[in-house]
Amino acid sequence: MGKREELEKLRNQIDEIDEKILSLLNKRAELVIKVGEIKKVSNLPISDPARERKILKKILEKNKGPLKEKHVRGIFQEIFSASLDIQRPLTIAYLGPEATFTHEAARKRFGWGAEYIPLPSIEEVFREVEREKAVYGVVPVENSTEGVETHTLDMFIESELRVCDEIILRIIHHFLSFSP
């Protein structure tokens, strides 16, 4: 068998596996819809970060490679995000603008499938969630550059909203210059 034929055979096998993965993901989504219905009538939150961590821990323990841990984490984060979005469309308010550390933290937690709303102040993030224009809000609590965000803590005292998860994000600044 020549290299082109071998390549075609391998690609056909990959295509078959992709179809099986899609079928299994859709079966999982059907179960997620049922779970969402039970959560709704039971007045339970759609997000259960502790369960997601438990699932991910179990999956990572079973991973024998060649996928790296970061690959598996990324794949399952998107599966979790899609699952939340199926139960209730995910709209996430965050302290904007786009491409800030808060935006990056929101994407890390809720994946690429959510709709993101950048807002100019921490107070507006809280109000957007309180008015149910967003399902979740992502605000900074502290960072290595500025320390504790006291305005965020004040808003948690004023608001009925509660923390449902913590996103730890490493803050790295890069400076570039052009010097002819």
Encode pLDDT of 46-103 as tens digits. Answer: 888 899 999 999 999 999 999 999 999 999 999 999 999 999 888 999 998 998 889 9
| Domain end among 40, 56, 88 | 88
On whether residue 11 sits in a domain, the answer given is yes
Q: Which residues contact 25 (CB under 8 A, 6 or more apart)?
A: 79, 82
| Domain end among 61, 88, 115 | 88
On whether residue 180 sits in a domain, the answer given is no
Give CA–CA dist 134/116, Å, rounded: 9
Higher pLDDT, 96 or 143: 96
Residues 56 and 74 in one domain: yes
Neighbours of 7 (CB within 10 A): 11
Residues 5 and 81 in one domain: yes
pTM of the model: 0.78
Neighbours of 140 (CB within 10 A): 20
Residues 1 and 84 in one domain: yes
Q: What share of the chain is helix, strand, coil (3-state, %, to 5)?
A: 55, 10, 35
CATH of the domain at 45: 1.20.59.10
Segments forming the whole domain that contains residue 123: 89-172
Q: What confidence tens digit (pLDDT) does each residue in 19-53 have? A: 999 999 999 999 999 999 999 999 998 888 899 99
On whether residue 80 sits in a domain, the answer given is yes
Residues 5 and 22 in one domain: yes
